[in-house]
Structure formats: C-alpha cells, structure tokens
Structure 1
C-alpha cells in the first residue's frame, strides 16, 4: 500500500502542469552550456583547443558531458521527463474536454440570485413550454449550446458557450508536444553539413567532403544518402547603392540516377532526395600562379571571406610545396622556404587606395593586395590551422617572416619578389557557401508551430460562460455565470436579458417557438428533458 501510494503521488506530481512548466524551464537552462561551450559533434577541434587552454577545468566539464550537451544523460532525462509529463497531463484533460463537448449543459441551479449576474421579472408568453423554447432559440441564435428541461412547475433553459478556450489550450499543448517530437527526430536522425564551393568544384555527400558536419545522435556515415552537386556558375546583382538585389547560382546535380542543372537562389533551395541544399553566402576566390626560385609553378584558387557589405575580402594564399630542396636560414632557423600571401581583395578600388576597403561589391576595378611571408608555415606539425589566416604563432616564434613591401596587382599583372620568385594574379572565380541539411522532423515542427499559434489565439479569444433561465407561472428569472475572466460578460448578459424581455434575437428578428419536435443542440436529444 505504501509503495502504491508513493507511486500514485509521484505520478500525480509528474503529470501536473506546474511540473511540466518547471521541466520546460530546466530544458531551456540545460541548453545554455551547449551554446556557450564548444560541442564535440559540431566542432571537435574547438573542444581540443578549449581543453588545451583550460587544462584544469576541461576534464571536469568533459565528465559532466558539457562538451556533448544534447546527447548527455541529464539533458535526455529532462527531455524525456518533459515528454512524459506533457502526455500524462494532456491525455486526461483531452478526455475530459471530449466528454464536456458531448454532454449537454448542466441544469440550472435552484438559487439563480446567487450567481454573479441575475435578473428577474421577465415576462412569458402564457405558454411556459413555448416561452422556454423561445429562450432556447434565442440562445442558439447567439451560438450557445442550449437545452430545455422540465422542472417542477415550469421549465429551465441551460445555455453554455466558450469551449474554444479549452480547445485552444489543448491544441497549444499538443502542438508543443509535436514540436518536442519533431525536434527529437531531427536531433536523432537529422544531419547537416556546410561547404564552400568555388565555381567548378564538386561536392559528393560524404563526411570527408564537408568543411563542417554535424550528424544526429543515431546517424552513421553509412546512413548518408548518395548524391553529388557542383557549382556551374554564380551571378550576383546589385543596386546602385551597393545593396544586393539577387543571387543566382546554377548548380549541377546527380541524385537517384538523375542528373541535370538547376538555378538556386536564397529562397529557392536545391532538393537532393531527402536532403536540401541552401545558398548561404557568396564571395570571390582569387586565382594566382606562383613560380618559386627553382622555376616550379603552382596555381591555386583560394576563397577569400568577405568582411563588409562592399565585398572586401580577406584570405591566405599558401604554397607549402614551394622551393622544395632549397634550404635558406634567412627566413627562419628551420631553413624551409615555404611561401604564403596574406591577401585583401577589393572588387572595386576606391579613389583613396589606402582606405583598404572596396567601394562597390561588384568587380568594376578589382585589385589584389598581398603581403608576402616566407619560412616555415607550421603545416608539418600536425596541428589544425585555419586556411583563412596565417599562423601567428609561427610569426611570433620567428619561424615565418614578412618579406619586402606589400604588392598590389590587377588582373593579369605579376610581380617579382626579392628572392627572384614571381606571383601572377590570373583572375577570380565566384564561390558560394551551401548548407546541406536533412531533418526528418521539420514537417512535424512546421505543423506544430502553426497549430501552436492557432491554439494560443483560440485560448486567448475563448471565454467560457453559462446562462440559465427558469420559467415559472410567476415569470422568468435569468442568471449568468462566467467560467473564466471576461470583462464584457455583464454587458453580454444584459443584452441577452433585453432580447429575452423583448422577445427578439440578437439581429432584431422576432423569435417564435418552433412546433413539433425540437433540437436540443445535442445529437439525438429532445427539446424538453423530463424527469
């Protein structure tokens, strides 16, 4: 008995709405570390960097699973408890609401004068049954569910309205439940990856080809669907003010044995079977040819990241295989003569070139500004490095050194470096950033979000109230009871009483009692309930 009572009380507490709200708050709080701390599934290299910079706290944070929040035991426990709490809370309320919708309004209380709103002295038509039927028709005209009952020496009329409030409330919470299910499906079986594609590049759906990849908890690399896509061309249009007006990419694809090309825009993604590729950003990728002191030439195309709305771009052009076999300690103690260029690309050079920012995002008068570094790039150490900036640690340690003055090149121009090597600016290619996503719960989340707003509006707009009439030989008495806070209930009750006194409906049309069989507002019911 003790165990049964404890389990029953625990279940009652878990399935209360107060507990559900507390768990929802805890879920929001528990998600904060996932936004503040780097996560293993999103960026393992940042987790390693954090552990290197914080050797004392990182092991404890790792034991608490704070680097893998959304797959942790404690986050999953809160999520599941919230799910169970909502189900246990909503199912009984749903059952009760269905019963309330089917059941006829309750009988009028004996003492109507005790209700918040009361009126008496209303006339009747001489025929008590006809008067009761007229009042029922009046309430039905106002969209109340109404029923007439025989009571002692007269009749009672019970009318009720405002079920939309509870319906909206339940719809809101069931939609919240659908959102939780949809997000759980996305977290377990969804995945997304990001990649920068330069014109001519191809991306096939494998883990190694993404710049960033985030799989769901139940997703394995073998589960990824097979498809490929490539950037054929990209065009951007700008207004005279420099504001972008359109971005259009022409992309080739191969999926499910089909291949072709399609135009992709910001709000027009590319469908690839169960996945979708979205266009996120764009920019310029300078193409340069470097000829080292041994006469070996290398050509690379490197995407530069934009830093302002005028498409001023910055990046690095690295040549780790330059000057192989050459040893020169002028640029560092290791004797390596690797070469890198720290570059800034201006699609349109301003009148004052020293400003260092483009005057317009379109290529009208492009210029590539380069700063030369030679020495050891540090790529052989095995430590991950950014491909968009030079390793400042190598410069600080004296292993990589700046050489000569800055260089400014137009398309087709070249420059000779102090060691006799040459750099040539061949032109640019456009690049785009694409995000490839698969979320099996996105449709459920969308439907849940729409229904959630609909339910919220219904819950706020609905106001449940009851109106009662008692028809006796001495006259007609009315009473009103609001079931929820409703500031306009008094005015509505007075309008109903006025219409009942005048014998007219809300539209001014005379309401006359029906003859023969009557509808009580309940399927299969009679206008008069006896006994």
Structure 2
C-alpha cells in the first residue's frame, strides 16, 4: 500500500487578525502617513510649543530663567526633568517634530504625484448623454458636423481650454492651475519645515548685556556672549567677524495719561564694523528694526540701569567698584541686583537689594517703590550680608544671585535688618568697621546712573527658505481657492436634414455657475455661423 504526498500548502496557524511582521510595518506606515495622524501631530506640536512661550527658556533669556527657578524651588526639579526650560531641544518635542515630518512626507509625496498627473491629464471623453448634465443646451444647424466641431475647437482654444480631439465631440477643460496650486501648497509645507530645520541645526542664537558707552564693545566670538545656544550642526567659522559698541541710548518716556512714566520707545546708537578692515558705520537700533550683517541679525530686546557702586573694606581698600547691572521687575523699572566683594577684609561683603529710578515711599506698606521709569530721583536700597559668599567653592556663581547659605545678615541693635539707602554721590559707612558703600554719580548721564542694553544676536540660515515656503503656501492656497476648473463638451451629429449640436459644461469645484458658459458658447457658435454667411 503506497502513500501519496499531499500537495496542499501548509495551513496558516495564525489566529484571526494576527499580522506578520511585514504586514505590521505596512499597517504602522499607513497609520503614520495618514492625513488624520498628520493633523493630530500638528495639533500636538502646537500644544507642545505652549510651555516654550509661557516658561522662561535658557536659550532665550538665561537671566529670566534663573530668576524663575529661584522663585519656584519646588517646581524647578520637576521642570528640569521634563525639559521645560529648553522645550525646543527636548527629546519629546523633537520626537513630535520628526514624526510630523515623516507623516507629512508620507502624505504629501503620493498626493504630489496625483496632482502632477492631474495637471498633465487630457480632458475626458464626452459622456454618452449630455442632456443628463445639469447645464446643457442644444440647437439644430445646417452646417456639417465637422465644420461645427472645427469652429468649436477654434473658439475654445482662444478661451484657453485644453482640447481633446474627437470625431463626434470636442472635449475641453480649463482650470488646470488649480492642480498647480494644490501641488505648490503641499510642497510648500515641506519647504517651510526644511527651512526651520536648517535654522535650528545650522544657526545659533545668543544674548549679551552691554553697558552704554562701554569703550570695549562687543566682538562676535562665542566667548563674548552671556548666553549662547548653537545648533547641532553649527560651525564656529560661520560666525560673521563683526564688532560693535553702544555710544548712546535714547528713551522716549510717556509724560501724560495713565501710563505716564513708562517707556514708549527706545533706540541704541551703534557704531559697528563688518570686519576688522571694514570702515566704521553707524546704525540706530530699535525694537523690531534689527541690524543685519551678512546672515546675522542684531536685535534690541531690553534695557535697564547699572548704578556704579563702590565697596571699601575695613582697611579702606576698594574691593569692588563699577557698574552693577540691576534687572527690571516692573514697568516702572524697579530692579533687583547684587554686589559681591569677595576680597574684603576681615570678611567678605555681599549686598542685595533694589534700585528705584524715581523713588517714592508708600505709607500703607512702609516700603519704597519706583514711581517712574525715568531716573529723576534714583536710589539703591540694599541689605548687607557678611561671611562666605561661596565664590571660592569652584562652583560657577551667577552675578545676579547671592549665595546666602553661609552668610549672616547684618542687623541693627533692635534686630531689624541693616539697610543701605543711597542716592548718587552718597556714601554710607558700615557698622563694626566693615567699611563703606558709595553710590557713584556718573557725570553727563541722565540721573547720574549708567544704562545697559540687552542685545540678541541670531543667525538663521534657513529663514529665507522658510519665508519662500510661506509665500509658496499663500500662492498655492489662493490658486486652489479661486481657480475654478470646468469641463465643456460639444457634440455634433447628423439628424435628418440638419446637424444636432449639443453643448454641456460641468464645474468641478462645485460652486461655479456654468450655465452662463453654455449660453455664451451656444450664442458664439451660432453667431460665427451667421457672421460667416453675411461675409459670403
């Protein structure tokens, strides 16, 4: 007894609905590249960008970020773990951005080929029954069918229709630029994303606080920045070799109304050189009016005051002297700042307090406040700390914060804090032979107080590509919205002793009135016939 081998394929032992690895990858790709997923990712990207505009970012304003972290010690570790102080560099934001890029490419590329084919396609052949279309008309003439069709071809060609020849009918279509608009719009999305990606990868952004009238100025090298954020593929040799200094600074103060005393506008008077051998030029730097040198933009984003404070120790030696930058905390430019005298003897001295451009005293709160932003009556009010300022621990210290963990606040005999209140030109001695503090008056400067400007410098290589993408998107959107594609058919055939001519039109956008097109075409075809008879 012989046994025959079975030729049936082995049975599939998978459970219903179970996918192979290849099928799973195909399903994942279809889900990722669907338009629904792209819209969801676009919404997620917009939501993910909200923390970057609400929470201070280290790459935008490191000083503001540091102050926020000092004011919120409990939230700071959580935010740091989530990367909320550098949202646009975080792994989760990059993941959303990359997935969106993949999704858009998967959505746009197939549609690009579809629109390209539609843009080059010929008009479809005429339907078998034109009378079923919503807009149609017919008439009888004595001309031969071929004469009518030739006349219709000439007429439609003059009206910029694309034609498809036929023996019994002429097919024509116009509005192909609508497909071009769709094609341009979809491609522009990729162009914008590429432009932003180039700016983030190849460019950089940095900030520096400069004193007005500083003779040393600024040279565009990485070590000159207070904060510097380069892109992942940034190369230092691409930095423009310019330098500049701030000669003067003008502020236009409001003098009337509820906002009196606030700054309405301000501008810095710069002197700059595009290179070491280039001639010196002048430029008035204002908000939203940056100075552009090569591919680099220089912005004015803030200003404030830097009172010149001198500290002498118990032996009469000057241990700290110079402009001290105070950071504004209100629209009236009430500012906070610190002074550190690490070389003072017999103990280190630290000062922390506020600066008031135009000081006033509140009877209700029993404290000083700034009445105006203009320095009409400036004053500094600072607390005094003695001890170890933590500057010798090898840990970088912020010049805008005072480490008080190893210090003692200086107090009066009644236990209240000892406060140094000074106006320009005044000196106050510290108790216990610690020394003195002087608020120096700067001659020729409004209020006797030196000023500073916050300058932001950025290089964004892909900004023109992104702008071109936005312009492309606008042009493509206008084309897809306002160009109305329509199809027209003209059929002519013998019926009895005459020729039956049928004309029909179809608006593909769904919102146009093509009945007028049909009536005009019929009238023109008949009018050309009568004109030809009159000429003969």
TM-score, normalisation: structure 2: 0.74
Q: Say if 2:325 is the partner of 1:303.
A: yes
SS of 2:307's equivalent in the other structure is strand
Q: Which runs of 5+ in 2 are unaligned?
A: 1-19, 257-261, 442-447
SS of 1:150's equivalent in the other structure is coil
Partners of 1:191 and 1:244 in 2: CA distance: 30
Return 105-114 or 119-128, whichever deviates more.
119-128
Alignment match, 1:411: 424
Q: Say if 2:246 is the partner of 1:231.
A: yes
Q: Over aligned residues, Cα RMSD in angstroms? A: 4.2
**Counterparts in 2 of 1:208 and 1:513: CA distance versus 1, 3 Å:** farther
Partners of 2:410 and 2:236 in 1: CA distance: 42
Partners of 2:172 and 2:478 in 1: CA distance: 24
Tell me if structure 2 keeps the 8 A contact 1:264–1:279: no
- How far the C-alpha of 1:192 sits from its partner, in A, is 0.7
SS of 2:234's equivalent in the other structure is coil
Tell me if structure 1 keeps the 8 A contact 2:305–2:450: yes
- How far the C-alpha of 1:205 sits from its partner, in A, is 3.3
Tell me if structure 1 keeps the 8 A contact 2:424–2:440: yes
**Counterparts in 2 of 1:196 and 1:237: CA distance versus 1, 3 Å:** same
Alignment match, 2:188: 175
2:129 aligned to which of 111, 125, 130: 111
Alignment match, 2:175: 162
2:143 aligned to which of 102, 115, 126: 126
Alignment match, 2:387: 376
TM-score, normalisation: structure 1: 0.75
1:215 aligned to which of 230, 247, 266: 230
SS of 2:325's equivalent in the other structure is coil
**Counterparts in 2 of 1:350 and 1:102: CA distance versus 1, 3 Å:** same
**Counterparts in 2 of 1:150 and 1:10: CA distance versus 1, 3 Å:** farther
**Counterparts in 2 of 1:370 and 1:40: CA distance versus 1, 3 Å:** closer
SS of 2:194's equivalent in the other structure is helix
Alignment match, 1:525: none
Return 105-114 or 247-256, whichever deviates more.
247-256
SS of 2:188's equivalent in the other structure is helix
**Counterparts in 2 of 1:125 and 1:76: CA distance versus 1, 3 Å:** farther
Partners of 1:513 and 1:22 in 2: CA distance: 61
Alignment match, 1:471: 492
Q: Say if 2:307 is the partner of 1:282.
A: no
Alignment match, 1:271: 292
Alignment match, 1:484: 509
- How far the C-alpha of 1:458 sits from its partner, in A, is 2.1
Partners of 2:205 and 2:22 in 1: CA distance: 47
- How far the C-alpha of 1:357 sits from its partner, in A, is 4.8
Residues 329-374 of structure 1: per-residue CA shift (max 9 Å, x gap)? xxxxxxx35131412221x4569898855454444x2321313313
Q: Say if 2:465 is the partner of 1:444.
A: yes
Partners of 2:139 and 2:167 in 1: CA distance: 19
SS of 1:110's equivalent in the other structure is coil
Tell me if structure 1 keeps the 8 A contact 2:242–2:272: no
- Figure out how many residues of one structure are paired with residues of the other and give that number: 482
- How far the C-alpha of 1:53 sits from its partner, in A, is 5.0
**Counterparts in 2 of 1:90 and 1:355: CA distance versus 1, 3 Å:** same
Alignment match, 1:494: 515
Larger RCO (alpha carbons 8 Å, 6+ apart):
1
Residues 11-52 of structure 1: per-residue CA shift (max 9 Å, x gap)? 666555445445444555665676788888776997999999
**Counterparts in 2 of 1:125 and 1:263: CA distance versus 1, 3 Å:** farther
- How far the C-alpha of 1:179 sits from its partner, in A, is 1.2
Structure-to-structure mapping, 1:33-112, within 5 angstroms: 61=81, 79-112=97-130
Structure-to-structure mapping, 1:281-430, within 5 angstroms: 281-297=302-318, 298-310=320-332, 312-321=333-342, 323-324=344-345, 326=346, 336-346=347-357, 348=358, 356-363=368-375, 365-376=376-387, 378-380=389-391, 381=393, 386-388=398-400, 390-391=402-403, 394=405, 399-401=408-410, 408-419=421-432, 421-426=436-441, 427-430=448-451
2:282 aligned to which of 249, 262, 275: 262
**Counterparts in 2 of 1:55 and 1:407: CA distance versus 1, 3 Å:** closer
- How far the C-alpha of 1:309 sits from its partner, in A, is 3.7
Partners of 1:450 and 1:276 in 2: CA distance: 21
Alignment match, 1:251: 271
Partners of 2:355 and 2:92 in 1: CA distance: 47
Alignment match, 2:202: 189
Partners of 1:351 and 1:14 in 2: CA distance: 63
